[in-house]
Amino acid sequence: MTVLNTTIRRWSRFASGLLLASAALCVPLQAQVPAPEPASPAAQAPAVPQDGPPAGDGALDAARVDTFLDGLVPYLMAQGDLAGAVVTVVENGRVVTERGFGFADVAKRTPVDPQTTLFRPGSISKLFVWTAVMQLVEQGRLDLDTDINTYLDFQVPTKGQPITLRQVMTHTTGLEERMRHLIVLGPDHPDTDEQYLKDWVPEQIFAPGTKPAYSNYATGVAAYIVARISGQSFEDYAQAHILGPLGMQYASFQQQLPAELLPHVANGYRLGSGDAWLAEKTTAPGIGGLYASGGSMARFMLAMLNHGELDGQRILRPESVAQMFAPQPAILPHLPRMALGWMTSDTGGYDTRSHGGTTLFFYSWLYLVPERNIGLFVSTNSAGRDAAGSALRAQVWERFVAEFLPQRPIVAAGPGVDADTARAHAAALARVSWQSTRRSDSSYLRVVNLLSPVRIHPQADGTITVDGQKGLNGQLLRWREVAPWLWQEAHGRGLLEVKIEDGKPVYFSAGPFASVFGYEPFPAWRSPGWLRPALLVSLALLVLSALLRVGGVFVRRHYGVAAPVDARGLRAAQTLSITVLLAGVLAWALYAQAISAPGGVADYRDLPLLLVQALSWLGVLAALVLVWVAVRKPATWPRLRRFGSWVVALAGLVLAFVSWTQGLLTTGVQV
C-alpha cells in the first residue's frame, strides 16, 4: 500500500509540475529552493565599491553588476546542480552586461557564451506571438475584439459569446489545458502543429472573459492565425518581421535549426551532473519553441523598452507597445493584472512587465521595468535539484532589484481587521478544497486535482498559509488580512484576494501569477475533502481483503482443510472482481510512471492508454458484481463474511465513482 501511495503521489507531482511547466508559471512566489544562508560568503550580494556610483542612480555600472552576478549565480548553480546559465541586463538603450555561467555541454566542457549559446526561453516565445499579432493589428488585418473563429479553418468552442484575440492575449478564453503533442523530444519528431491544434480541440470550461486560465492552446491558435493571415509559417513570419529586423542573429523558431545555428545549442539537463537529453520540440513553435542567446534576448528587450524600435528598425508603433503594457480589467481588482500578453507585477515597489518560460529542462524569465528603462533576461539549461532553475531565475531578479534600484517602502494595502473577523474568514477559506482554473478537465488528468488539491491553513498568529506558495527561503508564505477578504504577505508586498458571492468564497488568487490563473472550489459531490480519504480507505480495504484471501489459501493448505463449497461461485466472482479493481489501480500507477519521463504526457502511445481505460470500465463492472454478491450472499456465510461482502462492495463503488468523476472512463486518447 505504501508503494502504491508513493506512486500515486509521484504521478500527482509530475502531472501538476508539467502543467505548470508548460505555462511557465514557476514564479518567484512559488520558488521551491531555499535561499542561500546569509552566513555563506558566496551567497552574499557583493558590497558596493566605495568609488562606485550609488545604487539606482540611473546608470548601472557594468563592473558592479558583474561582481554581483559572479557572487550569486555560480553559488545558486552549485547548490541546485545546474549545468549552465545566462544573464543579460540592459538599461537606457545599452547592454549593461551579458554573462554566461557553467556549461552548454557538460561532457565536452563547452562554456556558455552569452552572445552565441542558444537557450530555450520556453513561454517567453509567446511575447513574439503577441508582437506579431499587434503588427497585423496595426496593418488592419486583425482585430483584437473579433471572434477568432472568423480567422480559422476549424472551430474553437464558445460558451455564449465568441473568444477574441484580446481574451487570448489575457488568458481569459476559458479553455482547458491541452497536453498531447505539446512538447516532444527530438527535432525530427513527426508531431505537428496541425495535430496539436486540430486532432482534439479542448473544451471551454469557463465563459470567455470571466476567469483567467493560462492557455498554451489558445496561444497556439493565435500563432496559427498569424500564419493564416500573413501567408507564412509562424517560424518564417517571426524571422522576417521580428528576429531579422532586430538583428537577433542567434535566434530562431525553427525546430529543426539551420546548420549554422546547430553548433551553438545548449544541451538540456534534468541535473547538471546527469546526462543530456534530446532537444525539445514544441510542435506549435509560437507557444514555446524559440531558440535564443542571451545577447539576442537583450536586443528584444531594448526594442520593447524603446517603444518598438532598435537601431532604426521599428517592429511596433509606440502606441502599440503602450497598449501591450497597459493592464487589462481583472476579476480581483487589488491583484496584478494581465496586460496584452505581458504579466504585470510589483518587484520592490516597481511596476514590472515580464513573462516566464519553462520547458522540460530550461527555466527562463524576462523582466522589464519601463519606468527605469531596465530589462533583465535569465535562463538555465537544467531543471536542477528541487526546481533550482526556477529558484535561480527568481532570486537573480529579486536580488538585482534590491541591490541596484532605490528601495521603496512597503505600504500596507489596508488598515487591518479585528481578530474575530480574521479568524472567521480564515476558517471559511480552510473549509474549502480549491482547484486551479488552469487545468485539464475532460481527460484523465482531472485526477491530478483530486490528488493535489490546494488548501488554506489558518495559523495561530492570525495569518494564513496556502499550499505550494513559498518564498525564496523555501518556507510557506504567511498572509495577514489587511482589509475584508484581502490579505498581504507578512513583511512583503504580495497580496491575496478572495471573491465573495452570497457570503461564500468562490474564487481567490495571489501574487504575480494572479494575472493568469486563480482557484475556485471543487463541487461538493467530488470534493477531495471527502473523496480522497474515501479512496485511500477503499484501496486499503480491497488490499486487505485480497491479502486475507491469499493468506486463507496458505492457511488451509497448511492445515489440510478444504475450501468451503457453499456459494463457491459467489466467492469466485468476488475474488475476481477485487482482482480486477486492484489491477486497474496498479495499471494506472504503472502508466503514470511510464509517462513520467520528459515529454511523456505529450508523446504517449495510444494503446497503453486505451488498455488502462478499458480496465477502468471493467472495474466499474467489477464494482457492480461486488454489489450483486453482497445482495445474493447466502445465509450460511458467517456474519463477519456477510458484513465484509458489503464492505468490499462499498469500496468497489468508491473506486468506480472515482473513475467516473476523475475522467478515467474517458474513451480515446484526448489529453
159-188: pLDDT as tens digits: 878 999 999 999 999 999 988 899 999 999
Burial 642-671 (b: 16+ CB within 10 A, else e): eebbebbbbbbbbbbbbbebbbbbbeebbb
**Cβ count near 638 (within 10 Å):** 9
| Residues 425, 306: Cα–Cα separation, whole Å | 46
Burial 163-172 (b: 16+ CB within 10 A, else e): bbbbbbbbbb
CB neighbour class for 6 (10 Å; exposed up to 12, middle 13-18, buried from 19): exposed
Q: Which amino acid is at 366?
A: L
In the chain, what's the furthest Cα-to-Cα distance?
Answer: 96
Residue 513 C-alpha from the chain's centroid: 10
Of 518, 489, 494, 517, whose CA–CA distance to 506 is shortest?
518
Q: What pairs with residue 230 in β-bridges?
A: none
> What's the pLDDT at 54?
39
> What's the pLDDT at 58?
62
Q: What is the pTM of this model?
A: 0.90
Q: What pairs with residue 97 in β-bridges?
A: 89
> What's the pLDDT at 27?
36
Sketch the domain layout of the chain as residue ranges: 11-404, 526-661
The radius of gyration computed from the CA coordinates of the chain, to the nearest angstrom, equals 27
Contact of 35 with 474, CB cutoff 8 Å? yes
> What's the pLDDT at 668?
73
Distances (CA, A) of 351 to 285, 336, 343, 370, 636: 30, 10, 11, 8, 77
| Residues 82, 501: Cα–Cα separation, whole Å | 46
Helix or strand or coil: residue 90?
A: strand
The DSSP-derived string for 429-493 is HHT--EEESSS--SSGGGHHHHHS-B-EEE-TTS-EEETT-B-TTSSBP-EEEEETTEEEETTS-
Fold of 11-404: Beta-lactamase (3.40.710)
Burial 13-45 (b: 16+ CB within 10 A, else e): ebbbbbbbbbbbbbbbbbbbbebbeeeeeebee
Name residues of the chain where pLDDT drops below 70.
Answer: 1-58, 565, 604
Residue 425 C-alpha from the chain's centroid: 28
Helix or strand or coil: residue 88?
A: strand
381-396: pLDDT as tens digits: 999 999 999 999 999 9
| Residues 148, 165: Cα–Cα separation, whole Å | 6
